[in-house]
Chains A and B, each alone.
Chain A
Amino acid sequence: MVTDLPELPCRELVELVTDYLEDRLSPIDRARFEAHLTECEACRTYLEQFRETIRVLGRLPEESLSPEAREALLTAFRGWSRL
Chain B
Amino acid sequence: MHSSKPSGPTHSHGDDDALIRGLQKGDERAFSEVVENWSGMMLRLALSHVESRAVAEEVVQDAWLTVLRSLDRFERRSSLRTWVLGIVVNCARSRARTERRIVTTSSESGPVVDPVRFLPANHPRWPHHWAAEPTEWRTPEAELLVRETRSVILDAIDALPSTQREVVLLRDVEGLQSTEVCNILRITDTHQRVLLHRARSRVRNALERYFAATEAT
Contact = CB atoms under 8 A, between A and B. Distances in A.
Interface residues of A, number: 46
A4 interface: no
A15 to B, nearest CB: 6
Given A57-B172, A63-B43, A73 B113 contact: no
B201 A14 contact: yes
Given A14-B201, A62-B5, A63-B40, A49 B208 contact: yes
B168 A57 contact: yes
B127 A42 contact: no
Contacts of A59: 145
Interface string B1-39: 110010000000000000000000110100110011001
A10 interface: yes
Nearest to B60: A65
B28 A18 contact: no
Interface string B153-189: 1100000000000001000110100100000000000
Contacts of B57: 65-66, 69
Nearest to A59: B145
A57 B128 contact: no
Contact of B65 (A22, A76, A82): A76
A19 B178 CA distance: 12
A52 B65 CA distance: 38
Contacts of A19: 193, 197
Interface in A2-50: 9-12, 14-15, 17-19, 22, 24, 40-43, 45-46, 48-50
Contacts, number: 143
Contacts of A18: 193, 196-197, 200
B145 A56 contact: yes
From A11, A15, A46, A52, residue with most partner B Cβ within 10 Å = A11
A69 B61 contact: yes
Interface of B: 1-2, 5, 25-26, 28, 31-32, 35-36, 39-41, 43-44, 47, 57, 60-61, 64-65, 68-69, 111-113, 115, 118, 126-130, 133-137, 141, 144-145, 149-150, 153-154, 168, 172-173, 175, 178, 193, 196-197, 200-201, 203-204, 207-208
